[in-house]
Amino acid sequence: MSKLRVNAFTLSLDGYGAGPHQTLDSPLGVGGENLHKWMTSTRSFHKMIGRDGGTTDTDDMLTARGFENVGAWILGRNMFGPIRGEWPDDSWKGWWGDNPPYHVPTFVLTHHVRAPITMEGGTVFHFVTDGIHSALEQARAAADGKDVRVGGGVATIRQYLQERLIDEMHLAISPVLLGSGEHLFAGIDMPKLGYRCTETISTADATHVMIGRA
């Protein structure tokens, strides 16, 4: 059965999934880049950005696992870019260049209509203006039996959690304190929603936590 998943989503020790003040030069907010040290040296990450080499350790295994059996993605608008409000034109096509790392249909939540964008490597960005349930319905249809992965950001994951729609999560807790930013669990009672920790794995640069629904 198709699942709705979160994989390799990194949090700071104080619970933030991104720093404050996202800009074109700081896509993860101030200090946000420091969260991802556990991933950026892995072979899977290097492959994702078109580089050779990289480590083949537990961090790499967990990064690679996040791409297995994924037939579609869902992203919040902030994950697609720093632009707010109406789309000024069609020039912005994401942070990732001509060949984004998704390679499957990818559904971007937004309040503003925009035509789909076909990229290299099989990624097609679809812009969904009628909410998270519509995005999930469209993503599941496009995934054709495979899983749907929610890439973030924090606000998008929170919406799906609050509706108890996420089946499983892999969070990487990085030994970094951000102090402010976007907090993943603030005001969300995870046990009341039926979620529990199913596994933890510690590596040199992160504590990996698996969460599932009871």
The domains of the chain are located at 4-84+97-213
- pLDDT beyond 70 at 143: yes
Mind listing the pLDDT tens digit for each residue in 8-33?
A: 999 999 999 987 776 767 666 667 77
As a whole number of angstroms, the distance between CA 97 and CA 120 comes to: 9
* Per-residue pLDDT tens digits for 166-209: 999 999 999 999 988 889 999 999 999 999 999 999 999 999 99
Query: CB within 8 A of 32, min separation 6: which ones?
Result: 18, 19, 22, 26, 178, 181
Contact residues for 195 (Cβ-Cβ < 8 A; gap 6+):
161, 169, 211, 212, 213, 214
What does the mean pLDDT of the chain come to? 93
Dihedral sign for Cα atoms in the order 13, 181, 21, 29: positive
Contact 127, 114 (CB under 8 A): yes
CB atoms within 10 A of CB 96: 15
Tell me: pLDDT of 95 over 80: yes
Q: Is the peptide bond before 66 cis (omega within 30 degrees of 0)?
A: no
Strand-pairing partners, residue 164, are none
The pLDDT of 39-60, averaged and rounded, is 90
Q: To which H or E segment does residue 65 belong?
A: helix 58-65
Tens digits of residue pLDDT in 60-92 = 999 999 999 999 999 999 899 888 899 999 899
pLDDT value at 112 more than 70? yes
Architecture of domain 4-84+97-213: 3-Layer(aba) Sandwich (3.40)
Contact 119, 125 (CB under 8 A): yes
Q: Residues 99, 72, 64, 176: what is their CA dihedral angle, to the nearest 10 degrees?
A: 90
Confidence of residue 48 (pLDDT cuts 50, 70, 90): confident
Give the pLDDT confidence score for residue 205 in this predicted structure. Answer: 94
Q: Which pLDDT does position 83 carry in this prediction?
A: 86
